[in-house]
Structure 1
Amino acid sequence: MTEITFRDPGEVPALDWLDKTLIDIDSTYQRGLDEGRVQKIVDWFAWDSFGAIVVAPAADGRFHAIDGQHRLEAAKRHPKVSVVPAIIITATGTAAEAETFVNVNGARKNVSPLEMYWAQLASGDPEAETVKQVCERAGLKLMRYPGSNGKYSGSETVAIAALRSLIDKRGAMRARQVLEVVAKADLRPVTALQIKAAELLMLDPEFCNDVEPEAITDAIRGNALGLDTEAGAFAATHRLPKVKAFASVWFKKCRKKRKVV
């Protein structure tokens, strides 16, 4: 039986609470600060979600933050925070600190918007609950994960950013009406571009007065792949945004409203 060999994890780091004013950022390897991200942490500052900052000893009893610079900056701006939890590693010098920075961030998997949505829903977030209700009422199935090998059943989607944008911009009722159009077309999957194209056709003055929702559904049902290809070519030929090209191609396939005489 082959013995499994594990890498030596090195010296166990110290855990401590450090004075926030003793921790600096080395711009040699650190990224620039995202002011919006810092301010969001300040506005919603809570120890439950703060976590420990990874630091390395520097000269004169000070420290360099290797991981957690946005949280550190938020702590420095918060008047009720004086110390921060820290993991103190033994890296010495810029090169060693930068190597740790690469190892920490290179192995990290960022939370996707879809993963964040499901976590927010589980936490009882009211905006996430609104998305859930709108999708259910429209007959759209918001999936937890992208389809295996790109395979989906009818009316499934993972386009959470497009859904949230639609609801924020148009409100829950209008968003449901738009989503019903693509849900009834049995698209596999319902993509962000398709959601935005349906929104344009139904709510933009250029199109909405000339086409019925049912006509949009009929036009794209069973023909989505061909229309997507045609829309891509149309966008390239006419140098249009893809959403406008999708809407234009769909519009041409729709039965137009009968004029009232």
Structure 2
Amino acid sequence: MSDAAIVALPIDAVVADHGTPPLRPIAAVSLVGLDVADPENIEPICVTVDPALLFVDPSYQRSIGERGLKQIRRIVEAWDWNKFKPPACSYAEHDGQTVLKVFDGQHTAIAAASHPEITEIPVMIHEAKETAAQAAAFVGQNTNRLGVTPLQLHQAALVAGDEDALTVAQVCDRAGVRILRFSTKNFTAGDTVAINVINGLVDKRGAMKARIILEVLVKAGMAPVVAPQIKAVEALLTDPEYCNDITPENLTAAIAGSWLVDHDDAKQLQLAHKWPFWRALAIHWFRNTKKSRPAAGRIA
């Protein structure tokens, strides 16, 4: 077959001859039923900069830890422009000067600044001059990305002024819960990294009920406050099977100072009945809590 004959054939036929699926063109999807608004902000621009001249805002991005440092070293060691994604940046004022702040891609930027053969990298500059706008952009770019923790996203959402994040922070503050910015080995009473469970609790139960539930664990001295504990107390103070027989005060008294024993006993229940750990913990705590008639103002 001549070259001319090959060119004349439809592309699907040419591809099929080689046993490879045809290319799929980018095509618009149906917008039926959508209320399409004008795009927010303006499209970003791509420029080339010295990575050592970029900055990171610690108000919504954590410092590089040991894990992050290992990641940076891996990037430097096996630098591949085909795997490169331009960091997302925005202009900001700092100490009277206009600088570029990285709100997504700081590991890439640091790796580039560390690489002995790289002096410039392309970056995408977005219109987000204020810190809150930059933090909101960070949340938007990282919500579904692996490696960015829920704690980082919560902190960024707070800086961005997200209403739900602010409500969760207020609930925790009033309950005495301190949401950590990253996990640690040294906890004090009320510390927690269980932000996803707390988000769900506030969303499902409302601010007041969520505060009462969390307050039980803080007053009981839990360090840290962990997800199974939150779920167990939620069940005890909201499930009709339990909540009419106990008060938050009696529950606090029953669980204070006995976490290690309670944990082991709940583990035994879990294994014996194949229950989720939080349910086994709830039943164990219920058995140990002084029973009383419903009190005014208690969660029902």
TM-score relative to the length of structure 1? 0.58
Which residue identity lines up with residue 154 of structure 2 in the other structure? Y
The answer to whether structure 1 residue 178 and structure 2 residue 226 are counterparts is no
Q: State how far apart, in whole Å, the 1-side matches of 2:267 and 2:38 are.
A: 42
Structure 1 residue 208, shift from structure 2 partner: 0.1
Structure 1 residue 43, shift from structure 2 partner: 8.8
Q: Tell me: CA distance 1:219–1:132, structure 2 relative to 1, closer, same or farther (3 Å).
A: same
1:140-197 Cα deviation digits (max 9, x unpaired):
11111212xx220111111101100000111111111111111111111000110110
Count residues in correspondence.
Answer: 168
Q: Tell me: CA distance 1:128–1:234, structure 2 relative to 1, closer, same or farther (3 Å).
A: same
The answer to whether structure 1 residue 243 and structure 2 residue 289 are counterparts is no
Matches within 5 A, 1:1-261: 110-147=147-184, 150-258=185-293
Q: Tell me: CA distance 1:117–1:44, structure 2 relative to 1, closer, same or farther (3 Å).
A: farther
Q: State how far apart, in whole Å, the 1-side matches of 2:277 and 2:37 are.
A: 37
- Unmatched 5+ stretches in structure 2: 1-19, 22-35, 47-81, 86-144, 296-300
Question: Is the 1:155–1:185 Cα contact (8 Å) retained in structure 2?
Answer: no
4+ residue segments displaced more than 4 Å: 42-52, 65-68
Q: State how far apart, in whole Å, the 1-side matches of 2:233 and 2:38 are.
A: 36
Structure 1 residue 225, shift from structure 2 partner: 1.7
Secondary structure in 2 matching 1:207: helix
Q: State how far apart, in whole Å, the 1-side matches of 2:162 and 2:207 are.
A: 16
Q: State how far apart, in whole Å, the 1-side matches of 2:149 and 2:157 are.
A: 12
- Unmatched 5+ stretches in structure 1: 1-25, 28-41, 53-64, 69-107
Q: State how far apart, in whole Å, the 1-side matches of 2:186 and 2:237 are.
A: 28
What is the Cα-based RMSD across aligned positions, in Å?
A: 3.1
1:61-96 Cα deviation digits (max 9, x unpaired):
xxxx9788xxxxxxxxxxxxxxxxxxxxxxxxxxxx
Q: State how far apart, in whole Å, the 2-side matches of 1:169 and 1:196 are.
A: 12
Secondary structure in 2 matching 1:206: helix
Q: Tell me: CA distance 1:44–1:112, structure 2 relative to 1, closer, same or farther (3 Å).
A: farther
Structure 1 residue 239, shift from structure 2 partner: 1.2
Which residue identity lines up with residue 115 of structure 1 in the other structure? Q
1:195-239 Cα deviation digits (max 9, x unpaired):
110000001111000111111111111111210111111011011
Judge which range, 200-209 or 233-242, deviates more.
Answer: 233-242
Q: Tell me: CA distance 1:45–1:224, structure 2 relative to 1, closer, same or farther (3 Å).
A: farther
Which residue identity lines up with residue 163 of structure 2 in the other structure? P
Structure 1 residue 109, shift from structure 2 partner: 6.5
Question: Is the 1:166–1:175 Cα contact (8 Å) retained in structure 2?
Answer: yes
Question: Is the 2:228–2:278 Cα contact (8 Å) retained in structure 1?
Answer: yes
Structure 1 residue 119, shift from structure 2 partner: 0.6
Q: Tell me: CA distance 1:259–1:172, structure 2 relative to 1, closer, same or farther (3 Å).
A: closer
Question: What is the identity percentage for the equivalent residue pairs of Structure 1 and Structure 2?
Answer: 40
Q: Which residue of 2 aligns with 1:38?
A: none
Q: State how far apart, in whole Å, the 1-side matches of 2:262 and 2:45 are.
A: 48
Structure 1 residue 48, shift from structure 2 partner: 7.2
Question: Is the 1:211–1:254 Cα contact (8 Å) retained in structure 2?
Answer: yes
Q: State how far apart, in whole Å, the 2-side matches of 1:246 and 1:50 are.
A: 51
Q: Which residue of 1 aligns with 2:52?
A: none
